[in-house]
Amino acid sequence: MALQLAQANAKSAEPRAPDSPPNAAAARLRPDFTTMKEVQLERAAAIEATLKTEPRDRAWASTTESQLRTAVDTAIKEGAQYSVRTLRCLTSVCEMVLSASSPEELRYTSFQLGPRIAGMSSYDVAQPETAADGTATVTYRLFRMGYQRPDEGM
């Protein structure tokens, strides 16, 4: 058995086709960043369209907005230094914008809020945006459990 393994390992490499560069296989495995960016933009557009056109499920949206505000209030009581700037839920998606006096104060929002958010299948968090005065905002898009994300399947 050991001899068979040694012989198999001693086998010379198979010759390459003359027109095949040594890194051709690696090149095929590299991600296509242009395509990835296009898909990312399409997904963002699908979510934006939903936020502009989706009707509001009043009962669910009101309850969920209240729960999200409670989650933020609890995080604030535990030391978080941000507040809800805007919050709006529709039928399958909520958008929540948090604001703080600096981007550093928004650094751990996912850790502080994630365990407190229920009834969502997933959420996306944008990179914080900093205004000229140094204040910062971060936007959460939260997707209701049991509903397909608007960008799913893209």
**For residue range 95-104, what is the model confidence (pLDDT) as tens digits?**
999 999 999 9
Let me know: does 117 contact 75? Beta carbons within 8 Å. no
Q: Which amino acid is at 99?
A: S
Considering the four listed CATH numbers 3.40.1710.10, 3.30.1360.100, 3.30.390.30, 3.10.450.50, the one that applies to the domain covering 56-144 is 3.30.1360.100
pTM: 0.75
Residue 19: phi, psi to the nearest 5?
A: -95, 5
d(CA 9, CA 1): 12
Look over the chain and give the mean of its residue pLDDT values, rounded to a whole number: 86
User: Are the C-beta atoms of 102 and 135 separated by less than 8 Å?
Assistant: yes
Which of the listed ranges 14-18, 24-28, 137-141, 149-153 does the model predict with the highest average pLDDT?
Answer: 137-141
Q: What's the confidence (pLDDT) of residue 25?
A: 62
End-to-end CA distance of the chain: 50
pLDDT of 136-145, one tens digit each?
999 999 999 9
| Token output for 69 | 């505000």
pLDDT band at 76 (very low <50, low <70, confident <90, very high): very high
